[in-house]
Amino acid sequence: MIELPALPYDYDAFEPTISEETMRLHHDKHHATYVEKTNALAAKAGLGVEPLEDIIKAAKAKDDKPLFDNAAQAWNHAFFWASMTPDQAKPQGDLAAAIDAAFGDLAGLKTKFVDEGKGHFGSGWVWLAKVGGDLKVLSTHDAEDLVTEAGKTPLLVCDLWEHAYYLDHQNDRAGFLGKWFDQLANWAFAAEQFAATAKSDTLFKYGAPQPDYA
């Protein structure tokens, strides 16, 4: 059984970029439903005692699309909550140097991130990831994540599904992404993930306690 993780901040922490109403719907309804369905479908598939990461990989290997979609969405949302913070700080140290090397500067990364998310057709996710030795911006469709992608370590993700921004920004996905990047992105979390790639492992594990970055 997996559980719905509590948010590490208040529901209104990201007003007005993300309203309290959106956060309550997104966490308490959307994410909660993915968790419930994952548990039901995993039990049917003879899974469920495993960590969520293993359930996602098993579902992919068995081509069990309903289980994969719900399990991956449960994971993606937990990673999304961790990718945001009300305590703003710019990227520091090794991560800042890697961003400058890959994108010129933070503004260059923002342009790439917003353009990738804006150009993504339909629902999905936009990621900053370490791919091999390089930082890349990439997007995935629907529930697809990087858990099943060897050599791709996510550092940050933003949700591109309309339920993430439509109440607050209507169809202005690029406007949402720009504000998200400037105001909400958790660079301390991204730096922890970046450091973890040196150990060939992803620091973030679903359901594991997260460091307090405040």
Question: Positive or negative CA dihedral for 53, 176, 103, 13?
Answer: negative
**53 near Mn ion, rule: CB under 5 A:** no
Distance CA 174, CA 70 (A): 26
Q: Report the nearest approach of Mn ion to the CB of residue 159 (Å).
A: 4
Torsion of CA 179, 171, 167, 24, to 10 degrees: -60
Other CB atoms within 10 Å distance of the CB of residue 150: 5
Task: Compare residues 77 and 152 and give the one whose CB is closer to Mn ion.
Answer: 77
Task: Compare residues 64 and 159 and give the one whose CB is closer to Mn ion.
Answer: 159
Contact of 69 with 165, CB cutoff 8 Å? no
**161 near Mn ion, rule: CB under 5 A:** yes
Torsion of CA 196, 201, 203, 207, to 10 degrees: 180
Q: Report the nearest approach of Mn ion to the CB of residue 97 (Å).
A: 32
Q: Who's near 18: CB < 8 A, 6+ residues apart?
A: 164, 165, 168, 180, 184
Q: Report the nearest approach of Mn ion to the CB of residue 26 (Å).
A: 6
Q: Report the nearest approach of Mn ion to the CB of residue 210 (Å).
A: 19
- Residue 109's φ and ψ, nearest 5 degrees, are -65, -40
Binds Mn ion (CB under 5 A): choice among 69, 116, 159, 192 = 159
Task: Compare residues 113 and 161 and give the one whose CB is closer to Mn ion.
Answer: 161
Q: Strand, helix or coil at 92? A: coil
Task: Compare residues 106 and 167 and give the one whose CB is closer to Mn ion.
Answer: 167
Q: Which stretch binds Mn ion (CB under 5 A): 102-110, 124-132, 133-141, 152-160?
A: 152-160
Q: Report the nearest approach of Mn ion to the CB of residue 77 (Å).
A: 6
Q: Who's near 120: CB < 8 A, 6+ residues apart?
A: 126, 139, 141, 160
Query: By beta-carbon distance, which residue lies closest to Mn ion?
Result: 159
Contact of 38 with 2, CB cutoff 8 Å? yes
Other CB atoms within 10 Å distance of the CB of residue 132: 9
Task: Compare residues 56 and 99 and give the one whose CB is closer to Mn ion.
Answer: 56
Task: Compare residues 156 and 191 and give the one whose CB is closer to Mn ion.
Answer: 156
**187 near Mn ion, rule: CB under 5 A:** no
Give residues in contact with Mn ion (CB under 5 A): 159, 161, 164
